[in-house]
Amino acid sequence: MKKRVKNWLKHIWQEVILPHNWLRQLNTRAGFFSWIVLFLVLKTVLAYGADFEWLHVQDPIQVLLLFVNPIGFTMILLSSTLLIKPKQIYYGALLILDTVLSLLLYLNVIYFREFSDFLSINTILGYNTVNQGGKAAGAIAFGVHDIFFWIDIVAMIALIITRKIKFDPRPLARFQPFKIFTIGFFILTVNLLVADIDRPQLLTRQFDREYMVKYLGLGPFTIYDAFNTYQTGQVRKSATPEEFTKVKNYVSEHYAAINPQFYGKAKGKNVIVIHLESFQQMSIDAKINGQEVTPFLNSLYHNQSTIAFDNFFNQVGQGKTSDAENMLETSTFGLPQGSLFSKLGNDQTFQAMPAILNQHGDYSSAVFHGNTGTFWNRNNVYKHMGYQNWISGDYFDVTGQKATTWGLKDKLLFKDSVPYLENLQQPFYAKYLTVTNHTPYTLDRDDRDPNFATTNSGSKIVDNYFVTNHYLDQAVKEFFDYLNKSGLAKNTMVVLYGDHYGISNTDAKYLAPILGKDESQWNDLDNANLQRVPFMIYMPGMKNGYINHTYGGEIDVAPTIEHLLGVNSKSYIQFGQDLLSQQHSQIVAFRNKDWITPDYASLSGRYWEVKTNTMIENPTADQEKMFDQIQSEVTTKLNMSDSLNQKNLLRFYTPKGFKPVEEKDFDYSKRATIARLKSENNKLGKNSKSLFGKNNNQSTISQYVTDAPEAKDQQTDTTRVLPRNADDWSQSE
Ligand code: GP9
Ligand code: MN
C-alpha cells in the first residue's frame, strides 16, 4: 500500500509537476483533457477572487466549496467528449466546450463589474433587456487580469497549429470516460450535500444569485436558472386570457366596498411606509422589568391621530421580507415556495403601489434600505413595480461600526436618507425597510440604551430581540422628530407595519412568562397568535384615531391605503380587502393554507377555538361544514393569486387609465439618481415641490438629531455587511 502511494506521488511529481513533461501529457487525449479541466477550474477561482469579491465567504466550509464547486461540474460536462473516437472531432469538441465555458465565465465577470450580479438566462438570451442606464456598451470595464481568462485557449490553439501538440489517435480505454464522469458526479453530489447542510433550503428559497454561485458554482447555477426559467416559461406559455378572466371575476366578486367615512381622508398627502423588520405585535405595550420596550411606538399606537390594528397578521411564506413587500405593494400573495421577488421578479408584470399612485396622483417614489441592492432581487423587481428611486446600502457609508451584517443601522439609515428624501417631489410614496432588528439581534454595546435592561428568558435570541426592538423604537422616534421639525409630518401619512415574526416557534415558549402564560401549556394556537404584527396608520391632524380589532393581514394593506388616498382599488387585481370597509371578511389566510378568524383557527390540520384557546377534538357536523367552507375560501384565494402570479396573467390586462410600467425607464445608479433629483428641482425652480425646494434650496439635514454613536465616525475600509450570509446564526458580536 505504502509503495503504491509512493509510486503514485512519484508519478504525479514527474508527469504533472515537472514542466518538461507537460508537453508530453498534452499530447495524450487524457492529458489534454486534464489540462483543460485544470485551467477552467483555475480561471473560475480567479474570477471568484479577483472579481466576485470571494463571494463574501465566511466560514472554512464555504472557502472549501469555492475551490471544489468548479471541479465536479467541469468534469461531468467535459467527460462526454471522451466518448468521441475521431481525433479531430474529439479535440474540436473539447476546445469548443472550453471556449463556451470560458465565455460564460467571462461574460459573468464583465456583467458583475457593472451590476454586482450574475447573468440570468433571461439576460443572456436578451429576453429581458437590461437597462443600460445611459451607459454605452463601450463603457465595459476591463481588468488587467482579464487576459488570463483567454490565454490558455490561445496557447492551446497556437500549440496545435505549430504542431507542438499533436492529436492523439488513440481513444481512451473503455471504462475511462465513465470513471471520469463518476468521479465528477461524486464531487458534485458531495458539494450539494455539504451546501445543503451549511445553507438549508438553498434552492427552494433562492435568496440571492450570489448565494447559489457560492455554494453550487457558476455552471450549476446557470443550469438551475435555465431550468427554472424554462419551467416558468412553460407555465406562462400555456396561460390564456380566459384564465385571467376567471381571476378577475373572482376579485370583483370579493371587492369590499369603500367606506365613505374614510375614503380620501389622506388625499394628496405624502405616504411614508415604515417596514419594521421582524417586529411583532406582542412587543407593543410589553413591559420588561417594569419598563416599556418600545415607548415611542406605544405612544403612536395609542395616539388619537392613529388608526391602529391589534389583530393584523403577517402572511409571508419563504420569501419573508420580500413576500411582505410584495403583498403590500400589490395585494397578491407570495408564492407557495421560494420568493416571488427572486423567482419571477425579472420579468413579472406588476400593477403596484408606486405606479398606481404615480398615475393617479402624480406621486414620486423611493425605497430606502441599508442592505445591498441585489438582495431579494430588488434591483430588478423595483423597476417592474415602478419605483423611481431605489436608495440601497450601496448609496451609504456602511463601513466600520455603522452597519450590522444586514446593513446600515436604522438610526443612520433614517438620517442618511434625508438628502434624498428632501429632494423628492411631493407628494411622494417612500418606503423605509429597517433592518437592525433582524435575527440574530446582536447590537454593539455603544448602541444599547444603558437604562434598558432586557429579559433573562433562557433564550439569547429572545433577550437580544427586545434590545434591538428598543433600538428600532428609538430610531423611529428620531425620524418622527425630524418629520415634525422639518414640517413634513403635517402633510404626510405614515404607515408602520411589522413584516413577520422575529421569534420563531422554537424560541417562542421562552416568551410564555413574559406574556403571562404557562410555558408547559404553550401550543400551536399560541404560535399562531404570535404571528400578529403591528399595523398603524398615523395621520397628524386626525382626531378620531382608535384601535381597530378587525382580523386582517398584509394582503389587505394596499386597498386600505389606496382608499384613504382617494384612489378606488376596484379596477386593480387585488386579493386583499380594505380593512376599514364594512364588508371586510375576517378570514385571515396564511401562506401554508392554515387560517384564523376571530372565533376559529385551522392549524396543521387541527381546529382551534380562538377565544378559549382550546383545540376542537371532535367538531360537530355544523362546525365541520363551516370549517370546510372557510378552508375552501382560503384555498381558492391562494390558488387564484398563484395562478395570477405564476402565469403572469396581468400581462393580459391593463386597467382603464393605467399605463404599463417599463423597466427601461428606471436607472438606480447613484450617479444617475443624484443627477435626476437635482435636475428635477432645478427645472421646476420656484415651483419645485420638494422639501428642499420649499426650503429655499437649503438642506434640512441640520434639523436631524440622532444619538447614534457612529454618526460622526470617519469612513474606513472595513465593513461588516455580509448580507448574503447573515442568517448564519453563529455570527455574533
Ligand atoms: C434583507 C432584509 C431581510 O435585505 O430585508 O430580509 P429577511 O431575511 O427578513 O427576509
Ligand atoms: Mn424581514
Question: DSSP letters of 328-345?
Answer: HHHS----SSS-HHHHHT
Residue (of 127, 161, 51) closest to 348 by Cα position? 127
Check if the beta carbon of residue 496 is closer than 8 Å to that of residue 300.
Answer: yes
> CA distances (Å), 355 to each of 59, 499, 559, in order?
42, 22, 14
How many Å apart are CA 460 and CA 452, to the nearest integer? Answer: 16
Please indicate whether residue 324, judged by its CB atom, sits closer than 6 Å to ligand 1.
no
Q: How far apart are CA 648 and CA 170, in angstroms?
A: 54
Q: Which of 194-198, 360-364, 629-633 has the lowest mean pLDDT?
A: 194-198
Task: Evaluate if residue 265 carries a pLDDT over 90.
Answer: yes
| Ligand 1 center to 312 CA (angstroms) | 20
List the alpha helices (DSSP H) in 130-175: 151-161
Which H or E element spans position 536? strand 535-538
pLDDT at 140: 64
**Phi, psi (5° rounding) for residue 18?**
-70, 120
Q: Residue 139: pLDDT band by 50, 70, 90 thresholds?
A: low
Hey, what amino acid is at 266? A
Classified as helix, coil or strand, 569 is coil
Alpha-carbon distances of 172 from 32, 79, 264, rounded to whole Å: 12, 11, 78
| pLDDT at 240 > cutoff 90 | yes
Q: Whose CA is nearest to atom 9 of ligand 1?
A: 321
Does the pLDDT of residue 331 top 70, yes or no? yes
DSSP state string for 38-92? HHHHHHHHHHHHHTSGGGG--SHHHHHHHHHHHHHHHHHHHHGGGG--SHHHHHH
Residue 468 has pLDDT above 90, yes or no: yes
Q: Is 433 in the pocket of ligand 1 (CB under 6 A)?
A: yes
CA dihedral defined by 509, 514, 518, 522, rounded to 10 degrees? -30
Q: Which atom of ligand 1 is found nearest the CA of 370?
A: 4
Query: Is the CB of 229 inside a 6 Å radius of any atom of ligand 1?
Result: no
Name the residue with cell 439635514.
Answer: 701
Checking if the pLDDT of 584 tops 80, the result is: yes
**Does 594 score more than 60 pLDDT?**
yes
pLDDT in tens, 385-401: 999 999 999 999 999 99
Residue to probe by mutation, ligand 1, list 341, 406, 439, most atoms within 8 Å of CB = 406
Look at 209-218, 383-392, 690-699 and tell me which has the smallest mean pLDDT.
209-218
**CA 667 to each of CA 380, 567, 568, 674: distance values in angstroms, whole numbers, following the listed order:** 10, 27, 30, 11
Question: Which residue out of 278, 340, 367, 371 has the highest number of ligand 1 atoms within 8 Å of its CB and is therefore the one to mutate?
Answer: 371
- Among 2-11, 121-130, 161-170, 442-451, the least confident range: 121-130
pLDDT at 82: 95
Average pLDDT over residues 221-236: 88
For residue 137, pLDDT over 50 is answered with: no
Helix (H) / strand (E) element for 368: namely strand 364-369
Give the distance (Å) from ligand 1 centre to CA of residue 338.
14
Residues 6+ apart with CB under 8 A from 395: 420, 670, 673
Residue 274 scores a pLDDT above 90: yes
Q: Which atom of ligand 1 is nearest to the CA of 500?
A: 9
Q: What is the pLDDT of residue 195?
A: 87
Whether residue 723 is predicted with pLDDT greater than 50 in this model: the reply is no
Residue 219 pLDDT > 70, yes or no? yes
Instruction: Specify the 3-state DSSP secondary structure of 581.
Output: coil
**Which pLDDT score is estimated for 597?**
98
Q: Which region among 140-149, 207-216, 455-464, 650-659 has the lowest average model confidence (pLDDT)?
A: 207-216
Question: 165 pLDDT exceeds 70?
Answer: yes
How far apart CA 616 and CA 607 sit, in angstroms, is: 5
Q: Would you state the pLDDT for residue 205?
A: 63
Yes or no: say if 301 and 460 are a contact pair by the CB < 8 Å rule.
Answer: no
Give the residue with greater pLDDT, 429 vs 142: 429
Please give the residue that has the higher pLDDT: either 200 or 312: 312
Residue 731 has pLDDT above 60, yes or no: no
Mean pLDDT confidence for 676-697: 96
Average pLDDT, the chain: 92
Distance CA 369, CA 435 (A): 8
Q: How far is the CA of 733 from the centre of ligand 1 (A)?
A: 19
Q: Is the CB of 377 under 6 A from ligand 1?
A: no
Amino acid at the residue 281: Q
CATH 3.30.1360.120 fits 243-248+271-703, yes or no: no
Q: What residue ranges do the domains of the chain occupy? A: 2-199, 243-248+271-703
Is a pLDDT exceeding 80 seen at residue 722? no
pLDDT of residue 435: 97
pLDDT at residue 621 greater than cutoff 70: yes
321 is annotated as an active-site residue: yes
Task: Determine contact, residues 726/449, Cβ cutoff 8 Å.
Answer: no
Contact in structure between 534 and 497 (CB atoms under 8 Å): yes
Judge whether residue 726 has pLDDT over 70.
no
The pLDDT, as a whole number, for residue 206 is 61
Contacts of 188 (CB under 8 A, 6+ apart): 72, 73, 76, 220
Ligand 1 contact via 276 beta carbon (within 6 Å): no
CA dist., res. 413 & res. 213, Å (int):
29
Phi, psi dihedrals of residue 256, rounded to the nearest 5°? -100, 125
What's the 25 CA to ligand 2 centre distance in angstroms? 55
Tell me which ligand sits closest to the C-alpha of residue 499.
2
Q: What's residue 228's pLDDT? A: 83
Confidence of residue 729 (pLDDT cuts 50, 70, 90): very low
Ligand 1 contact, 320 CB (< 6 A): yes
* 316 CA to centre of ligand 2 in angstroms: 9
**Does residue 695 surpass a pLDDT of 90?**
yes
Active-site residue, from 81, 123, 306, 321? 321
Q: Hey, which of 206, 211, 279, 320 would you mutate to test ligand 1's pocket, going by the most ligand atoms within 8 Å of its Cβ? A: 320
Q: What spacing in Å lies between the alpha carbon of 436 and ligand 2's midpoint?
A: 10
**Structure confidence by residue, pLDDT tens digits, 77-132:** 999 999 999 999 999 999 999 999 999 999 999 888 876 778 888 777 765 433 33
Q: What is the mean pLDDT of residues 159-187?
A: 93
In three-state form (DSSP H/G/I as H, E/B as E, the rest C), the secondary structure along 384-412 is: HHCCCEEECHHHCCCEHHHEECCEECHHH
Q: Looking at residue 337, what is its pLDDT?
A: 82
Give the three cell numbers for residue 604: 396543521
**In contact, 433 and 367? CB cutoff 8 Å:** yes
Ligand 1 in reach of 435 Cβ (< 6 A): yes
**Cell 442568517 maps to which residue?**
727
Q: Which of 499, 368, 378 is nearest to 428 (CA)?
A: 368
The mean pLDDT value for 225-232 works out to 87
Where is average pLDDT lowest: 153-162, 184-193, 199-208, 352-361? 199-208
Q: What is the pLDDT of residue 374?
A: 87
